[in-house]
Amino acid sequence: MTFPLCSVSAGLVKNGCSAAAFLLSLGLCAAPHHVAAEDFSISPLTPEEKQAMSGIEQSEVLSTISFLASDELAGRDTPSPELNIAASYVASRFRGAGLEGLGPDGSFYQTHELTQHGPPIGTVVLKQGDRTVDVIGAVFGGDDQVLVKAGITSDNSGASVKGAIVLIDEPSLPPQAATNVSAATVTLARRVLPLVTQGAVAVLIRTGKDSPLPEVLQLMRGRPLMLPAQLQVALPVVLIPSETTLQGEIELAVPPRSVTVSPVKNVVAILRGSDPNKSSEAIVFSAHLDHIGRLSGDRDGDTINNGADDNATGVTAVVTLADAYAALPQKPARSVIFMTFWGEEKGLLGSKYYCENPLWPLEKTVANINIEMIGRPETGAEEKMWGTGWTRSSLGQQMAAGASRAGVEVFHREDVSEMLYARSDNYSFVQKGVIAHSFSAGSLHSDYHQPTDEYTRLNIAHMARIIEGLFAGSLPLANGELTPAAVAK
Query: For the segment 410-423, what is each residue's pLDDT rounded down to a tens digit?
Result: 999 999 999 999 99
Same domain membership, residue 183 and residue 198: yes
Domain boundary among 203, 226, 254: 254
Same domain membership, residue 265 and residue 227: no
Kindly state whether residue 134 falls inside one of the protein's structural domains. yes
Task: Quote the pLDDT of residue 38.
Answer: 46
Domain boundary among 224, 254, 284: 254
Task: Quote the pLDDT of residue 37.
Answer: 45
Tell me the residue length of the chain: 489
Strands 100-101 vs 257-271: parallel, antiparallel or unpaired: antiparallel
Which residues make beta-bridge pairs with 312? Answer: none
Calculate mean pLDDT across residues 393-410. 97
Render pLDDT for 24-45 as a digit per residue (tens, 0 to 9).
Answer: 333 344 444 444 444 678 999 9
Q: What angle do CA 471, 473, 474 make, to 5 degrees?
A: 70
Task: Quote the pLDDT of residue 406.
Answer: 97
Residue 11 has pLDDT above 60, yes or no: no
Least confident of 81-85, 173-177, 386-390, 456-460: 173-177
363: amino acid identity, one letter: E
- What is the count of structural domains for the chain? 2
More confident of the two residues 355 and 183: 355
Kindly state whether residue 469 falls inside one of the protein's structural domains. yes
Structural domain harbouring 237: 122-254
pLDDT band at 277 (very low <50, low <70, confident <90, very high): very high
Same domain membership, residue 280 and residue 172: no
Residue 300 has pLDDT above 50, yes or no: yes
pLDDT band at 424 (very low <50, low <70, confident <90, very high): very high
Least confident of 119-133, 222-236, 363-377, 403-417: 222-236
Same domain membership, residue 274 and residue 194: no
Same domain membership, residue 439 and residue 299: yes
Kindly state whether residue 398 falls inside one of the protein's structural domains. yes
Same domain membership, residue 399 and residue 268: yes
pLDDT band at 204 (very low <50, low <70, confident <90, very high): very high
Task: Quote the pLDDT of residue 224.
Answer: 74
Kindly state whether residue 207 falls inside one of the protein's structural domains. yes
Mean pLDDT computed over every residue of the chain = 89
Calculate mean pLDDT across residues 172-190. 80
Same domain membership, residue 330 and residue 462: yes
More confident of the two residues 178 and 251: 251
Domain boundary among 226, 254, 282: 254
Q: Domain containing 138 — which CATH number?
A: 3.50.30.30
Calculate mean pLDDT across residues 334-353. 96
Task: Quote the pLDDT of residue 32.
Answer: 44
Kindly state whether residue 37 falls inside one of the protein's structural domains. yes
Same domain membership, residue 305 and residue 249: no
Strands 100-101 vs 409-412: parallel, antiparallel or unpaired: unpaired
Same domain membership, residue 232 and residue 144: yes
Task: Quote the pLDDT of residue 58.
Answer: 98
Task: Quote the pLDDT of residue 16.
Answer: 36
Least confident of 88-102, 166-180, 361-375, 384-398: 166-180
Residue 443 has pLDDT above 80, yes or no: no
Task: Quote the pLDDT of residue 457.
Answer: 96
Residue 428 has pLDDT above 90, yes or no: yes
**Ramachandran bin of 473, using left for φ above 0, alpha for ψ from -120 to 50, beta for the remaining angles:** alpha
What is the SS3 string spanning the chain? CCCCCCCHHHHHHHCCCCHHHHHHHCCCCCCCECCCHHHCCCCCCCHHHHHHHCCCCHHHHHHHHHHHCCHHHCCCCCCCHHHHHHHHHHHHHHHHCCCEECCHHHCCEEEEEEEEEEEECCCCEEEECCEEECCCEEEECCCCCEEEEEEEEECCCCCCCCCCEEEEECCCCCCCCCCCHHHHHHHHHHHHHHHHHCCCCEEEEEECCCCCHHHHHHHHHHCCECCCHHHCCCCCEEEEECCCCCCCEEEEEECCEEEEEEEEEEEEEEECCCCCCCCCCEEEEEEECCCCCECCCCCCCCCECCCHHHHHHHHHHHHHHHHHHHCCCCCCCCEEEEEEECCHHHCCHHHHHHHHCCCCCHHHEEEEEEECCCCCCCCCCCCEEEECCHHHECHHHHHHHHHHHHCCEEEECCCCCCCCCCCCCHHHHHCCCCCEEEEECCCCCCCCCCCCCCHHHCCHHHHHHHHHHHHHHHHHHHCCCCCCCECCC
Phi, psi of 219 (to 5 degrees): -65, -40
Same domain membership, residue 270 and residue 390: yes
Same domain membership, residue 322 and residue 465: yes
Which residues make beta-bridge pairs with 337? Answer: 270, 284
State the Cα–Cα distance between residues 447 and 407, nearest whole angstrom. 29
Contact 321, 376 (CB under 8 A): no
Kindly state whether residue 2 falls inside one of the protein's structural domains. no
Calculate mean pLDDT across residues 136-162. 90
What is Dmax (Cα atoms) for the chain?
87
Residue 9 has pLDDT above 60, yes or no: no
Kindly state whether residue 484 falls inside one of the protein's structural domains. no
462: amino acid identity, one letter: H
Residue 262 has pLDDT above 60, yes or no: yes
Q: Domain containing 361 — which CATH number?
A: 3.40.630.10
Same domain membership, residue 168 and residue 85: no
Residues 6 or more apart whose CB falls under 8 angstroms from that of 384 comprise: 32, 377, 408, 409, 410, 411, 441
Kindly state whether residue 485 falls inside one of the protein's structural domains. no
